[in-house]
Amino acid sequence: MKTPNDNIIQQTFDAILTQVGEKSAEAAFVASMQAADMPIDKRMLANFIIQDFPWPIGVELRRLFSGDRMKMDHLRMEQILKTAEVSAQFLSFCLLAQFWTEQSKKPFAFSADLEAQMNGFRRPSFGVYVGLLRAVFNLLQDNDISPFLGFDAKKLQVLLDVYNPLVELRNDLLHQKGEIESDHLEELICKLLGELAFLTTFKLVTIKEIRVFNPRFQPVSFKHTISLLNSQHEDFNAVEKNFDFFFDSHSVLLIKNGNFSGTHLNLSPFIVDTGAILEHRRIPGVKNGIYLLNEIRPNKYIYTFTNAPEQTSFKDIEGFEEIEKQLGVLCALLFQKVK
């Protein structure tokens, strides 16, 4: 039976196929179903989509594709817009993380656009994330720095052309300004997910543990325990890999092309995996899982748990001192010209 998600799922899956290639598990699945002359269950395609996107986006897609979001009512419209907002949040975090790294190498001046956007970053909205996406991308370009995410100015404009009307619809829904055309909203989220399919060529991971091995008369190696944050459920698989170098410990990294020997982007402390820090300890108000930076208050930083609508602060909690320290350094940089 056809569902309201079928069109979104099919178009998004087709876009992902163009990114992951003919030798991917996705392509093999389609080929096997076609060879057996069997219809392809959209639920299987949805599972691939959820798993292919980085967890913060994938978990919102899982909610969108769930049974209680089928009817085009206020609940479904909210989830479509929430999915779009989290994707903009993720992209802006990636660009801000790269901006921070580049500033540590060779400081360069803020643009007027970035200064303006930082005014809203203490309590960011969908529109602020989109503004940061534009401002940081353009500033990196102006300083001849290639964005880690790999897209160019033309791609940015395509994304903005989809995000901007979604921001307007989000504001309309929040302030109940008339009826929202459901077909238009569905069309926009289809287009956005198709444009974001490039993210499926990256892998989001957590460096949970690093052990040093230095046998006598042999080169030193570093055994990393790594959780893969591309999953249908929050039971992330872990792998162990040896390197002759080491990544930042307890950090959330975005790995290009899934290749650990290639370039990576450290997304901490914008994104925090508490499971790597708590190590199965139970702390009241803090769950083991992925948190996104949500709000910056004068005396603490508020994070949102991705797998449930819960917020927390890591202030004064044992084990999170380094996260708090990093946030202090980051905020000193970002808000240096913001009153």
Indicate whether 241 belongs to any domain: yes
For the chain, strand residue ranges (E) read 202-213, 221-228, 238-243, 252-256, 264-266, 271-273, 290-296, 301-305, 311-313
Exposed, middle or buried by CB within 10 Å (0-12, 13-18, 19+), for 98? buried
Indicate whether 129 belongs to any domain: no
Indicate whether 168 belongs to any domain: no
Indicate whether 139 belongs to any domain: no
Indicate whether 121 belongs to any domain: no
pLDDT tens, position by position, for the chain (339 residues)? 577 899 999 999 999 999 998 888 888 999 898 899 898 888 899 999 999 999 999 999 999 998 777 777 888 999 999 999 999 999 999 999 999 999 999 999 999 999 999 989 999 999 999 999 999 999 999 999 999 999 999 999 999 999 999 999 998 887 776 667 778 899 999 999 999 999 999 999 988 888 888 888 888 888 888 888 988 777 788 888 887 777 888 899 999 877 777 688 999 999 999 988 887 788 888 998 999 999 999 889 999 999 988 999 999 898 899 999 999 999 999 987 655
Q: Which domain holds residue 217?
A: 202-334
Indicate whether 185 belongs to any domain: no
Q: Which of 270, 329, 334 is nearest to 304 (CA)?
A: 270
Indicate whether 183 belongs to any domain: no
For residue range 125-138, what is the model confidence (pLDDT) as tens digits?
Answer: 999 999 999 999 99
pTM metric for this prediction: 0.93
The edge-to-edge listing of strands for the beta sheet with 252-256 is: 238-243, 221-228, 202-213, 252-256, 264-266
Q: Give one DSSP letter per residue of 265-288, joined into a string.
A: EE-TTTEEEHHHHHTT--BTTB-S
Indicate whether 311 belongs to any domain: yes
Query: Number of structural domains, the chain?
Result: 1
For residue range 53-87, what is the model confidence (pLDDT) as tens digits?
Answer: 999 999 999 999 987 777 778 889 999 999 999 99
